[in-house]
Amino acid sequence: MKRKSIGIFLVLTAAISWGVSGSVAQYLFTEKHFSTGWLVSIRLLTSGVILLSYLGLTKNKDIWNIWKRRASVGNILIFGLLGMAGVQFTYFAAIETSNAATATLLQYLAPVLIILYIALKRRTIPPFQHVIGIITALLGTYFLVSAGHFSTISIRPEALAWGLSSAFFLALYTLQPAQLLKEFGSTIVVAWGMIIGGLGMSFVSPPWETGDGVFSFSSILAIVFVILIGTLVAFFCYLESLKHLEAAETSLLSCAEPLSAAFLAVIWLKVPFSVYEWIGAFFILTTILLLSLKQKSSERKLAEKTI
């Protein structure tokens, strides 16, 4: 029970940090005119260098150990380029083409993908509460993208595409590094994933090319917040929570992120949110309650063996 409580605390910390960071990123896009690619590359590179330097200088860890095995080299490259950079870029692109609340809610179709993947891997039907979670997530997304106009999609097609892509990459980000985490720990994996992802993004959006971005005290403060809280704190806590919870549980509990993003977007950034969109948000966030239902011990043991 104590392990699960620690896991819940970690994933909620990560989720709220991500949610606030999404709204801060929207402010940088709409008010200060920074581009998605630039913010992702500077965010990942800076965070990765800080974290890796901290590990090497203060924790006396062999930060190069992950590169000494062929299997881990392939896995960390996939994680950095697809998992880390993929989820970052698609999420921020969804924010830039819509808003932080909508982008974050769309990203949380990831639990559906994770649950379906685990069910296929086990060759079994998901637990009842996970099935209900799939239904509520799909209902929530339907209300969110329709906004009450049930025969049409109310958000821009590119925003929907980026949002669905971010759900896929979040699922990949959650499931893919499991073996790396067991062998090297979350801090090393996160640090190298950030650096690799940032270097990959630099070929698309070099961090020294700021474009139309406007630097001011508030924008610098926002960038620092996105890097330190929305990246270092959030990603570390999220991956660390995987040691205490199932991947499906972690992703479902992370629905606290869209709640914080939605409230900030509406209150701070004055994003209009209709009653139908709030209904959609409610359905998606209902998965938190479903996840808190007590599972049978046999289901938990099966999950631990499978993941």
- Which pLDDT value is given to residue 123? 84
Domain count, the chain: 1
For the segment 83-92, the average pLDDT, to the nearest whole number, is 93
The angle, 0 to 180 degrees and rounded to 10, between the axes of the packed helices 157-175 and 110-122 is 40
Do 114 and 247 form a contact (C-beta atoms < 8 A)? Answer: yes
Range of the domain at 235: 2-306
Distance CA 158, CA 166 (A): 12
Does the predicted model carry a pTM greater than 0.85?
no
Do 281 and 259 form a contact (C-beta atoms < 8 A)? Answer: yes
- Which pLDDT value is given to residue 300? 42
Distance CA 140, CA 109 (A): 9
- Which pLDDT value is given to residue 201? 94
Distance CA 43, CA 88 (A): 9
Do 167 and 92 form a contact (C-beta atoms < 8 A)? Answer: no
pLDDT digits (tens, 9 = 90+) for 214-227: 999 999 999 999 99
- Which pLDDT value is given to residue 218? 93
Residue 189: pLDDT above 70?
yes
The SS3 call for residue 300 is: helix
- Of the candidates 237, 285, 83, the one whose C-alpha atom is nearest the C-alpha of residue 170 is 83
Structure tokens at 75: 């896995």
- Which pLDDT value is given to residue 279? 82
